[in-house]
Structure 1
Amino acid sequence: MGKLGDMAKKAKEMAKGHPDQADKGVTRAERMVDERTGNKYDAQTDKAADAARRSYQGDRPTDR
Structure 2
Amino acid sequence: MAGLDDVTKKAQEFLNSDKVKDALKSEKAEDVSDKLLDGVAGIANKVTGGKYEQQIGDARDTADKHVGNE
- Identify the match of residue 61 of structure 2 among 50, 56, 63: 50
> Contact 1:34–1:40 at 8 Å: present in 2 too?
yes
Please, which runs of 5 or more residues in structure 2 have no aligned partner? 1-7
Q: How many residues of Structure 1 are paired with residues of Structure 2 in the alignment? A: 52
Give TM-score, length-normalised by structure 1.
Answer: 0.64
Task: Report what 2:32 is aligned to.
Answer: 21
Percentage identity across aligned positions? 23
Please, which runs of 5 or more residues in structure 1 have no aligned partner? none
Larger radius of gyration: 2
Give TM-score, length-normalised by structure 2.
Answer: 0.59
User: How many Å separate the matches in 2 of 1:16 and 1:28?
Assistant: 20
> Contact 1:33–1:45 at 8 Å: present in 2 too?
yes
Q: RMSD value over aligned CA atoms?
A: 2.5
> Contact 2:31–2:68 at 8 Å: present in 1 too?
no
